[in-house]
Amino acid sequence: MRVTAIDFETANNAPASVCSVGISTFEEGCAEQVFYSLIKPERNVRKFNYWNIRVHGIRPMDVADAPDFRAVYREMVPFFKDSLVCAHNASFDMSCLKAACHNCSLPVPNVRWFDTLAISRIMFPGLEHHRLDDMCRCLNVELEHHNAASDAYGCLMIVVQTMNLTGIYDIETLLKEMRVPIRTL
């Protein structure tokens, strides 16, 4: 089964204010970054917060000519088919996906998902922090933190490295063994 990692960045505190998305996949032993896009937030959530800009560096002028969420949605949804989706601190990214869909009157995709933060805490209980940048540093995975493409790939590498460390390469078996729940959006 394919594993698809996703990461969103937002313009402000509203989950629907997605301003970039990155997607990486792992299938048949091959991990790759497959999709990245800036997103022009919808008018009702378009205001960029200073703190969000400080985190990810995306400014209003960067997304002025970017596609809106409806256009990006059409490109993202095929990656969810026949896939188990993951994110690091996944409740945030899943809430962004759901909120952006609702905000644009789009159907929320039927996504089965799990959280790599849970895997990190189980696999590396001795680490002080399990943030994505901490995990990537621990696993020697190069990361440009808060770049959605890099974050999605870093998240996926937590899954791949966990498979390598445990010797369990079927994702559903791995999650069952680790008692990491698979949720539905």
Non-local CB neighbours of 34 within 8 Å, separated by 6+ positions: 23, 24, 25, 79
For residue 17, the model assigns a pLDDT of 98
What is the residue-level pLDDT of the chain in tens, covering all 185 positions?
999 999 999 999 999 999 999 999 999 889 988 899 999 999 999 999 999 999 999 999 999 999 999 999 999 999 999 999 999 999 999 999 999 999 999 999 999 999 999 999 999 999 999 999 999 999 999 999 999 999 999 999 999 999 999 999 999 999 999 999 999 99
For residue 34, the model assigns a pLDDT of 85
- Residue 93: closest CA among 35, 180, 20, 179: 20
CA distances from 122 to 42, 118, 158, 166 (A): 38, 6, 12, 12
CATH fold of 2-184: Nucleotidyltransferase; domain 5 (3.30.420)
For residue 46, the model assigns a pLDDT of 94
For residue 33, the model assigns a pLDDT of 86
Longest dimension (CA), the chain: 47
- Residue 159: closest CA among 147, 173, 149, 174: 174
For the chain, the structural domain boundaries read 2-184
